[in-house]
Structures are given as C-alpha cells and as structure tokens.
Copies of this chain bind each other. A is one copy, B any other.
Amino acid sequence: MASECGNRITVSLFGASHGPAVGAVVNGLPAGEPVNTEALQRFLDRRAPGRSALATARKETDVPRFLSGIRDGATTGDPVAVVFENGDAHSGDYEALRFTPRPGHADYTALLRYGESADLRGGGHFSGRLTAPLCAAGGLALQLLARRGVAVGAHLLRVGEARDMAFDPVCVSPADFAGILKNELPVLDAAAGAAMKQEILAARTAEDSVGGCVECAVTGLPGGVGDPMFDGVESVLAKLLFGIPAVKAVSFGAGEDYAGLRGSQANDAFCVRDGAVRTVTNHCGGILGGITNGMPLLFSVTFKPTPSIGTAQQSVDLRTMKETTIEIKGRHDPCVAVRAVPVVEAAAALAVLDLLAGAGRL
C-alpha cells in the first residue's frame, strides 16, 4: 500500500513536508529489544540538515517522539509509532509555483494523481523530509541487527565525476564502516571525499546541483536468507530503495557490469575458508537465486541531482497551458546523495531485518 513496505516487519510512513508532522509506524518488531536512544539520535543526526555548507540550511526538528511500542528503553511488541514535528517551514515559497510545476519534482504527477487537493508544499508527501521517520525506523533495525552480528554501512561511491574506491567485495568489514564516519563526507578514501566536496561546492556556486551514487554493504548476514523470485533479497531491497525519493537505479554486486562479463569471469567459484563454504570472488553481491550465500551483501543506489536549482527553468502554466519560466527560491541540498547515505543504510537494515524474520532467523 503506497507508503508502506515489508512482509513480516512493515514500515508505514506518513506526513508531508509542510504539514504538522511526519512519522512512521513499524509493525512486527520483536518484544524486549533494547533501544539506545542516544545511538539512534546520533544516527538521525547523520541525515539531519543544517550542519554544513554542503547541505540545506533548513533547520528541521529531527528529534523523534515515540508514541507507541517502546517503554522503559525496550520494545514492547506493540506497533512502534514515531513522530517528528515539523517546523521552520516557509510555505509561501511554494504557493507561487502551485500551477507551474517544478521540473524534476513530483508536483506535476501529484496533481495528476490527487488533483488540486494535493499538498505540494515543499514536495509534500514526496519530500526527502519523509526519510526522517524512515531513518528512525531503520535506526531501530540497525540496533537489532547489531545484536545479531549484522552490520550495515554505506558510502558515497560517486558524486559527479569524483569517485570513491569500492568496498572490497570479499573482505569488507564493520571496521570499514567506522572509518567512513571519520571523514567529512562519508567515503572510504578521504581524497575522494575532497574531490566530491569540490563537485558539490562547484554545483552550489553555480546555483546548480549534482547527482551521486551510494554503495552499501551488509556484513555478518547468514546464508539461506531470502525467498525465491519476487521475495528474493534483490526484490525486497529494491522495492524499499526505489521508495527513497530521487533513487533511479539499483544494482547488486557487479550490477550493470555483468552485461560485459563472460560466465567464466562472472561466476564466483566456491572455496573453503576457515572450515566454511565461501566464494573466491563476490560478483553476485552475496545473493544467488534471491537467497544470501553468506558472503557480504553488496549493492549500489543512484540518486538524481536535487531537482531544486536556482537557475531559471522552463515549465508550463497549467491554467493557461502556456510555457513559462520559473525560478525556485529556498534552501536546498546541492547533492541529495550526501544525506542519503544513512537513508540507504536505514532502508537496508529494514529490508534485512524483514528478510531475517521471514527466514525465522530473528
């Protein structure tokens, strides 16, 4: 149902950018799971805006309030409901654009879908603001996974023409994830981060924006998780990842590069390491037939450039059906991919938790 995802552990998001609040309801979390609210807040702060020249100056209230499902620092087994009150919204910025849809945004399609009652202010329900409750839900999932030895980490693989090194597909470990957080931008190689920063600042200076790609790894995941076909690991993850605003491509392991490989190159030979079945390479990203094989799970997610840019753009006035030019005011991230890194981790954590539940491994 639209704003909801998951089979055993479901996440339902609600709210709009300039409405009273955004929030999430999570069903299916086990009871008795400790919740570290400080660690959760640190995770949420990675997504929050207003902290550097690389992100929007909008100050959002990114402190979650739990209305249900958590008591005395642990889950109760009831649905978890979390709310983020909205504030600091400049809705006046948007009314002028009501009938001249912004290119790259959902304004026009939301009007087609919902008619004039659609709340388009700040992107409405389509806004990146909805990733706040997604991260709250995912942040809880990360804590449950950590207690089961499963870690999730992501980094900027690419911004414009600047590229980070990729995770080592066989040896990636939680130590890599810790290293990422020490850099100004979330990257493995600090030099790549510096280059990305230049790309972002250059776009910002040009009143423009730039796209990016996030690579994510999940370690510690047992083999045998996932179902065949439409509830395979790829399908479950992709449905969730494509629900994140601005995501336009998802690939697993070698992904699009598979098209250029021979089978003899692409197949991951089985081997024995420390008494366990492993593969020598990991082109498949840890997934065969939709089911995990015990190797690191690897995927990447491509984000559009922020559609809101300062330069003039061509649109259509829907009242007159005449072409017109619009200029977008307001505060916008020059590269959504930066703040999307923890969002990808959150989505991955929710998907993996759901898959583990489906395999009876939670």
Contact = CB atoms under 8 A, between A and B. Distances in A.
A63 to B, nearest CB: 14
Contact of A360 (B277, B311, B360): B360
A74 B303 CA distance: 33
B119 A1 contact: no
A82 B339 CA distance: 29
A190 B111 CA distance: 42
B243 A248 contact: no
Contacts of A239: 230, 235-236, 238-239
B208 A289 contact: no
Contacts of A265: 305
Interface string A297-324: 0000011111111010111101001110
Q: Select the residue from A223, A227, A253 with max chain B CB neighbours within 10 A.
A: A227
B270 A316 contact: yes
Contact of A13 (B74, B79, B262): B79
**By CB atoms of chain B within 10 A, which of A32, A112, A125, A294 has the most?**
A112
Interface string A29-56: 0011000000000000000000000000
Interface string A211-226: 1110000000001111
Interface string A109-137: 11011111111000011100010000000
A7 B357 CA distance: 13
Contacts of A223: 108-109, 112
A258 B248 contact: yes
A16 interface: yes
Contacts of A268: 103-104
A180 interface: no
Interface stretch (A65-73, A139-147, A181-189): A65-73
B270 A101 contact: yes
Interface string A79-109: 1110100000000000000000101111011
A56 to B, nearest CB: 14
B21 A68 contact: yes
Copies in the complex: 4
A252 B238 CA distance: 12
Interface of A: 1-5, 7, 10, 12-16, 19-23, 25, 27-28, 31-32, 65-69, 71, 74-81, 83, 101, 103-106, 108-110, 112-119, 124-126, 130, 157-161, 203, 206, 208-213, 223-232, 234-236, 238-240, 242-243, 245, 247-256, 258-272, 275, 277, 279-280, 284-285, 287-294, 302-309, 311, 313-316, 318, 321-323, 337, 359-360
30 contacts: A2-B27, A19-B68, A31-B113, A32-B114, A32-B115, A76-B124, A101-B270, A103-B267, A103-B268, A104-B263, A108-B270, A109-B223, A109-B288, A126-B228, A126-B289, A130-B229, A160-B259, A160-B260, A210-B263, A211-B259, A212-B259, A230-B240, A234-B248, A238-B238, A238-B250, A242-B290, A249-B249, A258-B302, A263-B308, A271-B314
